[in-house]
Amino acid sequence: MLVTLVLAGAIAGTGPASAHPAVECAGLDQLKIPASVMSLPTTGGRVTSTSVKTSVLSGVTITYCQVEASISPVDPAAPEIKMRVALPHGWNRQAMMFGGGGYNGTIPDLTANVPFGPADQPVPLARRYAMFAGDSGHQQNPAVPPSLDGSFGTNDEALHNFAAGDALKKTRDASLFLIRHAYRAKPAEVYFAGGSTGGREGLVVAQRWPEAFDGVISAYPAWNNLSEALYLGYLTQILAQPGAFPGVEKQKLLYDSVINACDGLDGVRDNVISNERGCHFDPRTLRCPGGADTGPGCLSDAQVTAVTAMSTSFEWPYRIASGETGYPGFPFLSGADMRTPILGFGTTPPADPMPVTSGYGMQYWNQWVKHFLTRDPGHSAFAVDPRDPGRWRERISYLSTIQDRNNVDLRPFARAGGKLILLHGAADELVSHRSTSDYYQRVQQKLGAHSTGTFLRYYLVPGANHANVGAPAFAAGWDSLSALESWVRKGQAPVRPIVTDASHDRTRPLCEFPYWPRYRAGDPGTASSFACTR
């Protein structure tokens, strides 16, 4: 017996909308997705299963049709793109795509929130968005830590699906076909939201397909993917030197020392460094007498060198085709934040074979060398020096044209009416906020500050780390989705937004870069006690 799911609703803010025909959810099963509905080459796709689900999301009971589908490659040796669509009862006539993380390989949770989303507002599916996402064109090996399986990189089509973003457009086109088929109507607006790799994907879709999405939320984006990989490889080799790795106690020493030195620069001591650019900490103040490692209360000369490398720009002395020349490194605070050591230094030094207790970035580099660069799973990540890659230099240059397709000319996206909200935490320990600031400044240089402000907002959140993992100093939450909706649909740009710290019950003004929140007077837990300054 076919289960009938009635999908009807109104577009918020426009009054009642006409009801849509009832959709037989099970009747979507095995539906063919023609190759002709996708703008990039595939051999078509197919719905593989459907099911009716009921979930309580953000305190709201939502019934929706979950559709599993796959898109077939052109190259028979390439993996399929696995994708999922959630079609809610009472559809709001809007759709949203979620981006992935790391090397992807799994389908993002469609019941989740946008990156840095608020705890006190409904998630998109609870707002009755039609949700969709894909695995970017390969499936994670369960024997490898989640989001760290780069083995698909040995296949060209799979590499382009992930690194160039081809799978994003294919999944978007196929999902909109299914949404139109289910509701007999097109979405009024289509949005994209993602963080880390998903944040990079948000910038990719705005650059490559400026009319595909009406609005984008890009958080802590790893936008210059190859450039960061080279930096992580450089750091991997430094941390692997004898005695160079700072253990967990020394990482805490460094973190506490930076907090003690710089916390009050914003006018209040609250374990959040808001004036990060004013924080000038010299790790040599923690040097052990004589430079030898004498215990957890100091840093050896080798460890001082390692932590300095993490916080310093790395520039390679050769040209690559993307035109990128370096990666800016991290503030001392980020890599040393012991709340999430695996995202920074890790808990053990990198080695060959690479331990899962080493930093996430070191494991990412290891996978990149084996599967993207050399395409030899037996090749040691330590046999490639990012400073002098030798015979791998041309391959690096070629990969840069795929992984770092950094066209900051977003005028086509702006002309199409697109709006972009860019977010990053100033204590991010995996993707440097300095790199995102560089991206934003490049856009401004290309388009001009005024033109950029008509469609793009960039907010740097002091104390926030990568994806609110662990127990960050500031667990950022802001209703960026409502702000984006108002901007796209009503032309109302965000005005004086406020970000909440869910872990410490406090608020701060969300300041546009390069501004940061300075304490003035009053309750330090309230945003009104701060003013955005520079």
| Beta carbons of 64 and 148 less than 8 angstroms apart | no
Whether 301 is catalytic is: no
Q: Identify the helix (H) or strand (E) that includes residue 192.
A: strand 189-195
Residue 5 to residues 20, 49, 63, 226: CA-CA distances in angstroms?
11, 15, 8, 45
Residue among 404, 466, 501, 529 flagged as catalytic: 466
- What is the rounded distance in angstroms from the CA atom of residue 246 to the CA atom of residue 349? 8
Residue among 428, 433, 437, 501 flagged as catalytic: 428
Residue 339 — left, alpha, or beta (φ > 0 → left; ψ -120 to 50 → alpha)? alpha
| Beta carbons of 165 and 407 less than 8 angstroms apart | no
* Token pair 């793009």: residue: 456
Residue among 70, 136, 196, 358 flagged as catalytic: 196
| Beta carbons of 470 and 439 less than 8 angstroms apart | no
Bridge-partner residues for 517, per DSSP? 532
- What is the rounded distance in angstroms from the CA atom of residue 465 to the CA atom of residue 158? 30
| Beta carbons of 192 and 201 less than 8 angstroms apart | yes
Residue 152 to residues 114, 170, 323: CA-CA distances in angstroms?
27, 18, 26
Whether 428 is catalytic is: yes
- What is the rounded distance in angstroms from the CA atom of residue 306 to the CA atom of residue 295? 17
455: nearest Cα among 410, 423, 513: 410
- Say whether 509 sits in a helix, a strand or coil: strand
322: nearest Cα among 198, 230, 429: 230
Residues with active-site annotation: 196, 428, 466
